[in-house]
Amino acid sequence: GCMLDGKLYPLGEIARTENCFRCSCSRDAMRCCSLFHTPIGYDKENCKVVFNKKTCDYDVVQKSDPSKECSVYSRV
């Protein structure tokens, strides 16, 4: 298997790791890509970015009231 962040994963495809990556584990390598996109276009003055481990994505919320979402114009 493959070791990632102290956890052993089996050979083959891993749909979602604990840290929100999709990986492919072979005998000689482990290749991973993230399942999340980082927000870059939003109101940085009034909003903040919070990682949501349940959805494997970033939530952009108001600094003054984190229960309210902000508009996101673009993600990378």
> What CATH number has the domain bearing residue 54?
2.20.25.590
The answer on 45 and 58 residing in a single domain is yes
Q: Could you tell me the residue range of the domain that residue 25 belongs to?
A: 2-34
| Residue range 20-63, pLDDT digits in tens | 999 999 999 999 999 999 999 999 999 999 999 999 999 999 99
Reported pTM? 0.76
The answer on 46 and 27 residing in a single domain is no
- Give the position of tokens 């009034």: 46
Tell me what pLDDT residue 32 has: 96
Residue 69, CB-side half-sphere exposure with 13 Å CA sphere: 7
Q: Where are the beta strands (DSSP E) in 1-76?
A: 2-4, 7-9, 12-14, 21-25, 30-34, 39-42, 47-52, 57-62, 72-75
Question: Measuring CA to CA, how many Å separate 38 from each of 10, 28, 41?
Answer: 28, 30, 9
Domain count, the chain: 2
Q: Tell me the one-letter amino acid at 50.
A: V
Tell me what pLDDT residue 63 has: 98
